[in-house]
Amino acid sequence: MWSLNLAQKYHLPLTEPIANYLWPMIFSIRHLSFFLLVLIGLSSCDNTLQVTAPFENTAVVYGTLDMGNDTQFFRIGRAYLGQDGPVGGMPHPDSLYYPSIDARVIAVAPNGDIKQTFVLAESNNRPKDSGLFTVQGHRLYSFVFPSDYFTENGGVRQDFTYRLELRLPGNDEVFAYGETPMVNQFRIKKPTPIGIQKMSITATKGYKIEWKQAVNARIYQGYMDFIYMEMPEGHPEDSVRYAVRYEMPTVIGSSLSGGGITASTTINSHDYFTFLAESIPVKLDTLRWFRHIDIHMVAGSDDLATYIKTTQPSNSILQAPPFFTNVIHGAGVVASTQHLYRPYIGISTSSADSLIFGKLTCALRFARASSLDTLTCN
């Protein structure tokens, strides 16, 4: 683990990569945008101050490895110096990216033996969202794990360390590197995967979702997709399927070794039904039918947890924001994640009653079919 306040010397394009490419659901780096604006403000206060320094080759790297995906992506850029301050390099791709770079991921066994090398290829097929930095010249780097890479030989490759190494073309010297262990697979304990499970969201103390902690995971976050159908009254042929997504709180794990230790998060019934009332528009002459809930969970490595913690917004304008990186001689983060998916979960009868007849969601017109009629709140 290695950190350096590079932001005092360089203009680092740190506002976009995590949000765009690493953890779509999950992690925010909003305070980096604030940090960049502070730098812009400072650079405009006094143009007599010399803020540049002799050039150093400083890579800016963001990437998470995930055993659940075959293709692995990294964003690799560089810090830039200039008389124009932090805004100077934003419109210029040659300030943000290397014209050419040799990037490799090395699989290292626990005894230190190098087992495999993956060469990253430049990839331009994932467009960048518009923002402060130019979209011109945007590029990612990727490689592919073979389909059976983590399952053959008893799954031993889950225990390897994976090290990203950067070299300039024609130079064998590694000028920057970062490494991460792999977050292993984990499973949800509650709702249990056995049989048809129903969540009792109206429970007095809320509904507790539990999972077994993953090896090498420190941080967990998930979301619940609430799936329902809409049917204009009298026109069942025009029914449409919809989903709204509820983000669960972030949970910090207590162990990196797994070992069957349980972690959990609680879904508060009032908060959840309020979320549904605010997320689903009221429509007259329309009936709605609950279908199921899908649970998604993501576990992140220890360094990713540290990175997220240090990039949370500060409560004080007097305190300098912390700066963390595990990229040696660079900036950014090399980490790993693991995704888990549990679809088709039902809700209890009492939860369905609260959805249909409860005061928070009555106006949404969820319904239940009976032998004689269709029951709804209004």
Report pLDDT for 321.
66
Report pLDDT for 43.
39
Report pLDDT for 80.
57
Q: How much is the CA Rg of the chain, to the nearest whole Å?
A: 24
Tokens representing residue 99 in the block: 């014209």
Same domain membership, residue 305 and residue 265: no
265-309 per-position pLDDT tens digit: 999 999 999 999 999 999 999 999 999 999 999 999 999 999 998
Whether 99 is covered by a domain: the verdict is yes
Same domain membership, residue 172 and residue 70: yes
Tokens representing residue 302 in the block: 């220890």
Domain hosting residue 284, numbered range: 188-298+341-376
Same domain membership, residue 44 and residue 128: yes
Tokens representing residue 158 in the block: 């889950």
Tokens representing residue 298 in the block: 């993501």
Same domain membership, residue 120 and residue 36: yes
Mean pLDDT over each residue of the chain, to the nearest integer:
79
Whether 322 is covered by a domain: the verdict is yes
72-131 per-position pLDDT tens digit: 999 998 875 544 444 444 444 455 788 899 999 999 999 999 999 999 999 865 544 444
Whether 170 is covered by a domain: the verdict is yes
Same domain membership, residue 229 and residue 84: no
Same domain membership, residue 173 and residue 72: yes
Give the DSSP letter string of 84-110. Answer: TGGGTTTT-HHHHS-SS-EEEEEEE-T
Banded model confidence at residue 164, pLDDT cuts 50, 70, 90: very high
**Neighbouring C-beta atoms of residue 338, cutoff 10 Å:** 25
Report pLDDT for 347.
94
List Cβ neighbours of 121 (8 Å cut-off, separation of 6 or more): 141, 142, 143
Q: Which of helix, strand or coil describes residue 154? A: helix
Whether 1 is covered by a domain: the verdict is no
**Which position has the higher pLDDT, 217 or 25?**
217
Instruction: Determine the distance from the C-alpha atom of residue 377 to the mean position of all C-alpha atoms in its chain, rounded to a whole number.
Output: 38
d(CA 143, CA 141): 7
Q: How many domains does the chain have?
A: 2
187 pLDDT higher than 70 = yes
Same domain membership, residue 68 and residue 178: yes
Same domain membership, residue 305 and residue 292: no
List Cβ neighbours of 187 (8 Å cut-off, separation of 6 or more): 193, 211, 212, 340
12-45 per-position pLDDT tens digit: 333 333 333 333 333 333 333 333 333 333 334 4
Whether 52 is covered by a domain: the verdict is yes
Whether 264 is covered by a domain: the verdict is yes
Same domain membership, residue 362 and residue 306: no
Same domain membership, residue 310 and residue 164: yes
Same domain membership, residue 320 and residue 222: no
List Cβ neighbours of 324 (8 Å cut-off, separation of 6 or more): 3, 306, 307, 310, 311, 333
Which position has the token pair 């300039």?
Answer: 168
Whether 350 is covered by a domain: the verdict is yes
Same domain membership, residue 140 and residue 68: yes
Find the helix or strand (DSSP H, E) in which 141 lies. Answer: strand 140-144
